[in-house]
Structure 1
Amino acid sequence: MLLLQNVSKSYQDKKVLESLNFIFETHGVYAIAGPNGIGKSTLFRLIAGAESPSTGRVELQGLNPEDHRIAYRQKVSWAPEMDGMFPFVTPEEYFRLILQIRGRPTAEFPHALIQSFALTPFLRTRFDELSLGNKKKTLLIAAVMVPFEVLLLDEACTGFDRQSQQTFKGLMRDLAPRAIILLVNHDADQLENIPLTLLQMVHKQRTLLIKGEGL
């Protein structure tokens, strides 16, 4: 269970999230929609533990990112929109670094995922020299190659060709029964044929609500 309780986030005088409450109780894919600037990426950073809420708490299976820094982060994996990559690092180096940080054996190098997303020819290409699609594939593979209970995907398949989109959809269908998957994606066609629940982030008076609509 992933719990958001009275979560607010401000940057100086700008309040981005205010009094947000929601519980994700079951595994599956949740597509979070809402207008630009409503705080979707900020919400992901809070859930990932990359930032702390100004007020309120985020909790996963009784753990929170402030008091259980390592144990919490071992349960959450995140493919940010484009943060977290040094321009000179290659995909191969990045995957090995993720395994090292997570304390995973080198035998878990994601050969199958790399092949399925046709990234093999670019494994030793610097990140700043990759196409947008291959950058996003690198971030996605790095997120799903390690164990997780919550997976956060921020515009994860931007720049994908048709085959890579189909591979992404198959991956989501495979992972949905085993984890809570939250994704932000502005192209509805990229989510077609993925069983998911649509969640709308909306403002109401001085609170921010998440409202569910089944798809």
Structure 2
Amino acid sequence: MLRFEGLSKAYAGRRVIDAITGQLGLGAYALQGPNGVGKSTLLALFAGAIAPDAGEVWIEGLSLQAAPVEARKRLGYAPDTSSIYPFITGRDFLDFVVQTRKYDGCGSMEEMIDELGLTPYLAARFSAMSLGTQKKYLLCAAWIGDAPVLLLDEPSNGLDHAARTALARRIADRSQHALTLFASHDAAFVEACGATVVDIDEVAGRPSRDRRAG
């Protein structure tokens, strides 16, 4: 479902992702490792949010480089922080995503709005929302269209208990028919999702750290 070959990315001369090749199939996977080692970069590369220095990514057999529009229709992506225009309301944002994806299953979206407790904030502008509420909107948007591949960066950050529980259940429920890859330091959340832990060093082409140190 998600395949990558020769994928590399460097910043200021420092190689963060080093010519990695691999693939992931159905299931839930939790990408783990210390801050600053490339988890967000790797998810953004997989999502096509940033361009690799080298290599290629395929979503359900479609190349993000050669067929970006079709490939992106098959994935959902929620970054850790919001870059949405501050004057847009929650409802306007979700409606825009629905139109972009040409999605007609809005009943499912309304269910997620209710599960995440977003109903009172539909008319609020992003500039007036807490970071946790913004994160909920990013997650809700990523779910629109029920994409086969879902990429989430620290999805439980800033969420209340009810929202964390609902999100973990949704990720676990997807495992039989779709792929979810998410970065998380939250061990309890990872366990609730039933996710397989993937070490960033193993994926990014670096020697594994000595876990006994520090």
TM-score by length of 2: 0.89
Residue aligning to 1:5:
5
Equivalence for 2:14 = 14
- Return the letter of the residue paired with 2:154: E
State the match for 1:105 in structure 2: 104
What's the counterpart of residue 212 of structure 2?
none
Q: Is the 8 A contact 1:20 1:207 kept in 2?
A: yes
Give CA-to-partner distance per residue, 1:39-85, whole Å, 9 cap, x none.
11111111111122111111123211111011100011101111431
Residues in 1 aligned to 2:89 and 2:184: alpha-carbon distance in whole angstroms: 25
- Aligned position for 2:113: 114
Count of residues in Structure 1 that have an aligned counterpart in Structure 2: 208
Quote the offset at 1:192 in angstroms. 2.8
**Residue equivalent to 1:61:** 60
Q: 1:176 to 1:193 in 2, by over 3 A?
A: same
Tell me the alpha carbon deviations over residues 185-211 of structure 1, each in whole angstroms, 9 at most, x when there is no partner. Answer: 11212223221110001179x93379x
Partner amino acid for 2:34? Answer: P
Question: CA separation in 2, counterparts of 1:27 and 1:153?
Answer: 15
Q: State the distance in 2 between where 1:156 and 1:203 align.
A: 22
- Give the C-alpha shift of residue 138 in structure 1: 0.6
Kept after mapping to 1: 8 A contact 2:156/2:186: no
Q: Residue in 2 aligned with 1:49? A: 48
User: Which consecutive unaligned segments of at least 5 residues does structure 2 have?
Assistant: 209-214
For the Cα contact (< 8 Å) 1:155–1:184, is it kept in 2? yes
Deviation at 1:101, TM superposition (A): 1.1
Q: Does the C-alpha gap of structure 1 residues 115 and 207 become closer, same or farther in structure 2, counting only changes over 3 Å?
A: closer
State how far apart, in whole Å, the 2-side matches of 1:2 and 1:106 are. Answer: 24
Q: Confirm or deny: 8 A CA contact 1:96 1:109 kept in the other structure.
A: no
Question: What stretches of structure 1 of length at least 5 have no aligned partner?
Answer: 211-215
Aligned to 2:90: 91
Counterpart residue identity of residue 91, structure 1? G
SS at match of 1:202: helix
User: What residue number does 1:134 align with?
Assistant: 133
Q: Is the Cα–Cα contact under 8 Å of residues 27 and 178 in structure 1 kept in the other structure?
A: yes
1:186-201 map, 5 Å: 186-201=185-200
Matched with 2:148 is 149
Aligned-partner SS, 2:103: coil
Distance in 1, Cα, partners of 2:160 & 2:122:
18
Structure richer in strand, relative to its length: 1
Identity %: 32
